[in-house]
Structure 1
Amino acid sequence: MKKLFALAVSALALAGPAAFAQDGPKPEAAAERRSDAGIPPPVVSVTKHSGTFGGQRINYRAIAGETYLKDKDGKPLAAITSYTYLKEGPTDPNRPVTFLWNGGPGSGSVWLHMGAFGPKRVVVPSDAKDDGAPPFPIIDNPESLLDVTDLVFIDPVGTGFSRALGKTDPKDYWGVTKDARSMAQFIRLWLNEHGRWNAPKYIGGESYGTTRAAAVINELEGSYTDVSVNGILLISSILDFSQAADTPGNELGYVTNLPSMAATAWYHNKVADRPATVEEFVAQARAFAIGPYATALLKGNSITAEERAAILPQLSRFTGVSQAYLSNANLRLSPSRFYKELLRDKGLTIGRLDTRYTGVDYDNAGDRPDNDPSFYGIDGAYTTAMNAYSRETLKYSPDVVYSSIGAVGDWDWNLGSGPRGGSGYLNVAPYLGKALRENSGLRIYAGQGYYDFATPFFGAEYSLNRTGIPNDGRIEWHYYHAGHMMYVREDDLKKLSSDIRNFIRKR
């Protein structure tokens, strides 16, 4: 989900003439010309700034604008908008560059950009309260990673300001593999433009952005024209899509969701004999989920009345939901029912992206919430901040609606032959296993929020604890006391920044 780079002064074959802005955009005469098929040249704004990041005062250049993806004949097909932040000063060949995006699919990079790692960020309540109405505080972000790496935030086609051009069908870019190829193409063009082929490189994303990261590493390193990568940042991972708990007959999702239910029940004080820490309780929940609970579910109709009676009180304790409700649900508590049932006695629902958030529905009778309070609790602030920052501070203001999360319909989920198998089972984790096996210098950072139901932490652990993924210590796990966007909680923003900063420095 994020934005990325934008070239600067030079007009390379990849991008054509650019509008250069220092204190403000100053369109050159070249920008008045029209390119192929009436498509104007890409517009780029360059501004200079300074800030303190990781305790260091840094002067940096911000490049916001378009890069054109072209066909073999040089015809522009799509405009990728990106936001690049480059440290000023003497060239350091050992300085890393990190490419970041968000997920969806269909999300712009606004969340990681304006919430976590960009030089400016928008402030939302740290205690899971609604963000209210503007003006929203847009402040300097000392947690930005600019002290250890240059940053490039990318918006895939159909997100942010990025779009298909001319008669190009945007569906040409809407799919797991199609999208990854366009991102890999962009990265190669960026490395050409900025002369960074031999720099340490990191790629990463959040949510579906982790799916994208796995697919992109396959496009970058999966052939004999490698773009070798030093590290992959997986924030709130979804790699194995078999974990859908609402699919009849699929038991895996109930197992991998249970520890997140336990964490949430612990947070909302719905646990009998509540342990002192959430870490202690989720450790118990993991053991119960993968052991007695999984066994009970896999027995199906063969489970005995005695076995069922033994499971129910344990399941009730870990979920905070009554034994009667769980019995009626046949031991299988879907996430949507959990969001509605846990705090029904208080007339509240809980969030999906972050279960610390609570909301009030039209009435209290249904079995699923009207909406996700953890999304409508922050979306206004982020969309406002991205538009204000890009258009006013970075002087990049295209005549295009910024799409924070848009419709990228008819997404092609087919992996073709897929990683070691057919296309019926969508799991991109084998791409990561292959990359780790074939690049001894590659490492993975995996960060998960305890209160995230969009990408539950136990599901992420399960995905990366499988055959073909080396168990050699090159995957680092970090956990946070918030949800999907753990950085909305100030303490977790600081921890996240510190964890990733140290991960990059370990190179």
Structure 2
Amino acid sequence: MVLLFSLPVLAENERQIDVDNLVTTQHKTTILGQTIKYSASIGTQPVWDEEGNAVATLHYTYYQRSDVQDISRRPLVISFNGGPGSASVWMHVAYTGPRILNIDDEGYPLQPYGVKSNPYSILDVADIVYVNPVNTGFSRVLKDKEGKLLAKDKQKEMFFGINADIKYLAEWLNTFVTRNNRWLSPKYLIGESYGTTRVSGLALALQESQWMYLNGVILVSPTEIGIKREGPVEVANRLPYFAATAWYHKKLAPEFQAMTLEQFLPQVEAFTMSTLLPALTKGGFIGAEEKQQVIQQMARYAGISSKAIMQNNMDVSLDFFWKELLRDEGKTIGRLDSRYLGIDKKEAGVEVDYFPELTSWLHSFTPAINYYLREELNYKTDIKYNMFGSVHPWDNSNDNTGENLRQAMAENPYLKVLIQSGYYDGACNYFDAKYSMWQLDPSGKMQDRLDFKTYESGHMMYLRHADLKQSNDDLREFIKAATPAEGQPAIYKH
């Protein structure tokens, strides 16, 4: 069954998205052996300015289980990807949604392209809405009554910056929750990469400007969320990621290769915090003997030569590591997932020519999402689906999103946080994420409400089949644990 509501604003023969429309289709799938019936509602909802004029419209896809009688107890998960400028496509058709990419068990593209059922989707325990911010997916800035777009500087002020993004999305979510009668539902935000900056800021904005309180925030492959990692901390925090990657590519001594990552990485982390970081703080005044000992141990863990580390004064950049680790094999490694291999024009140099993981992912995601939305969910439009949209220059100033998340947790005793990271993610590495978690609440009084999970894959850990199952299981358990029992008050006890 298809239900279509539309308020068109199209001039004749003009290619433009409808301001406010909705297409709903009915489906069923099997999740963890259980048959689940659900509706998929896909459409657009306006962004209004302070005068009540529609200035943009956001495209979204909303999945709702059909056999739930009381949605007041049914969790709602609100999902964002990152960039900034990325569509909410990655987690939609590869992680939590009911349909996922046709890929192999390690996440590499397969033809024919397309989608298949996701047997681990969290739709059994929660409804999900995937939101595309302005200029991503089918979301667009709208023309005014005179047929003109907002000036570029006005667009930036309204949409394209850390705090502007949070402000308009909080307003938009208020409307979505109201339209869909979800005010009573337990609510969760999930963001990936830059999306973690977005949802960390939204946690407080929703509380303070929309009076909407959350049960949980999930940070997938988080950014720094305004928690600075500069100088020696930034340099030292790379080593555990280097070590995990070198272990995967079998570049370590037999004693390390014989260990599991869970056995091996704690000693690397301990060395990083207890030895490497203090050594780096000494800069050029470190003693020659100490420097040599530290470099030799770094080389053993990172899988590259002590000479290369010495030449970089122990500050081995990510770009150099991606080029250096497999240089003798004529290969480079991926940025977002260092399991992926690339081939550069020259083996020499200190930077890779391209990121092989991203080209691999665009291989499969782009045809899949275009087919899926138009053919399976029946959303017909000539508007191009922007995998990455025009949002730059992005205003990164005044990033207090980590502090905003801490404040939201302090104000809301219900609110819990889950962090998910892949060991092989070089863009948002897992040890940086762990460091941010440690620094999020300096008082330590809320550490029992922070949970951390790691996976043997990269930025999009769910592409690996084993981690697709485990990461969704972790989400499912988090949602259940963060949804309080009936009658349980939000209160701090003496």
Structure 2 length as normaliser, TM-score?
0.90
Alpha-carbon distance in structure 2 between the residues aligned to 1:464 and 1:374: 27
How large is the Cα RMSD of the aligned pairs? 2.1
Which of 235, 255, 258 is the aligned partner of 2:239?
Answer: 258
* Corresponding letter in the other structure for 1:79: T
Q: Deviations over 1:254-287 (max 9, x none)?
A: 1111100010011111111214111122111111
Where does 1:200-211 land on structure 2 (aligned, <5 Å)? 200-211=186-197
Equivalent pair of 2:218/2:417 in contact (CA under 8 Å): yes
Partner residue of 2:354? 371
Which of 36, 49, 53 is the aligned partner of 1:75?
Answer: 53
Partner residue of 2:135? 158
Partner residue of 1:141? 118
Which of 79, 97, 108 is the aligned partner of 1:100?
Answer: 79
Alpha-carbon distance in structure 2 between the residues aligned to 1:319 and 1:33: 57
SS at 1:60 equivalent: strand
Following superposition, the deviation at residue 142 of structure 1 comes to 1.5
SS at 2:314 equivalent: coil
Which of 407, 418, 424 is the aligned partner of 1:445?
Answer: 418
* Corresponding letter in the other structure for 2:102: V
Equivalent pair of 2:41/2:61 in contact (CA under 8 Å): yes
Equivalent pair of 2:24/2:41 in contact (CA under 8 Å): yes
Q: How many correspondences in the alignment?
A: 465
SS at 2:237 equivalent: helix
Q: 1:136 to 1:472 in 2, by over 3 A?
A: same
Which is further off, 134-143 or 95-104?
134-143
Partner residue of 2:211? 226
Equivalent pair of 2:299/2:309 in contact (CA under 8 Å): yes
Partner residue of 2:35? 57
Equivalent pair of 1:155/1:161 in contact (CA under 8 Å): yes
Following superposition, the deviation at residue 379 of structure 1 comes to 1.2
* Corresponding letter in the other structure for 2:75: P
Equivalent pair of 2:19/2:57 in contact (CA under 8 Å): no
* Corresponding letter in the other structure for 2:424: Y
Equivalent pair of 1:243/1:459 in contact (CA under 8 Å): no
Partner residue of 1:15? none
* Corresponding letter in the other structure for 2:341: T
Which of 77, 81, 92 is the aligned partner of 1:113?
Answer: 92
Which of 257, 278, 284 is the aligned partner of 2:261?
Answer: 278
Alpha-carbon distance in structure 2 between the residues aligned to 1:403 and 1:324: 44
Q: Deviations over 1:202-257 (max 9, x none)?
A: 0111011111111111211235x420000001111113457678xxxx22221111
Following superposition, the deviation at residue 126 of structure 1 comes to 2.9
Which of 412, 431, 456 is the aligned partner of 1:458?
Answer: 431
Partner residue of 2:345? 362
Alpha-carbon distance in structure 2 between the residues aligned to 1:97 and 1:107: 22
Which is further off, 393-402 or 333-342?
393-402
The answer to whether residue 221 in structure 2 is matched with residue 239 in structure 1 is no
Equivalent pair of 1:432/1:469 in contact (CA under 8 Å): no
Partner residue of 1:198? 184
Partner residue of 1:487? 462
Q: 1:305 to 1:85 in 2, by over 3 A?
A: same
Equivalent pair of 1:64/1:81 in contact (CA under 8 Å): yes
* Corresponding letter in the other structure for 1:177: N
Which of 434, 437, 444 is the aligned partner of 2:407?
Answer: 434
Alpha-carbon distance in structure 2 between the residues aligned to 1:259 and 1:39: 46
Unaligned runs of 5+ in 2: 144-148, 484-494
Structure 1 length as normaliser, TM-score?
0.88
Which is further off, 290-299 or 485-494?
290-299
Following superposition, the deviation at residue 481 of structure 1 comes to 0.6
* Corresponding letter in the other structure for 2:45: T
SS at 2:23 equivalent: strand
The answer to whether residue 303 in structure 2 is matched with residue 320 in structure 1 is yes
Partner residue of 1:168? 150
Q: 1:385 to 1:317 in 2, by over 3 A?
A: same
Q: 1:93 to 1:471 in 2, by over 3 A?
A: closer
Following superposition, the deviation at residue 26 of structure 1 comes to 5.5
Which of 395, 404, 413 is the aligned partner of 1:412?
Answer: 395
Equivalent pair of 2:21/2:44 in contact (CA under 8 Å): yes
Partner residue of 2:474? 499
* Corresponding letter in the other structure for 2:222: S
Alpha-carbon distance in structure 2 between the residues aligned to 1:457 and 1:251: 17
SS at 1:204 equivalent: strand
Q: 1:486 to 1:240 in 2, by over 3 A?
A: same
The answer to whether residue 313 in structure 2 is matched with residue 330 in structure 1 is yes
Following superposition, the deviation at residue 102 of structure 1 comes to 0.4
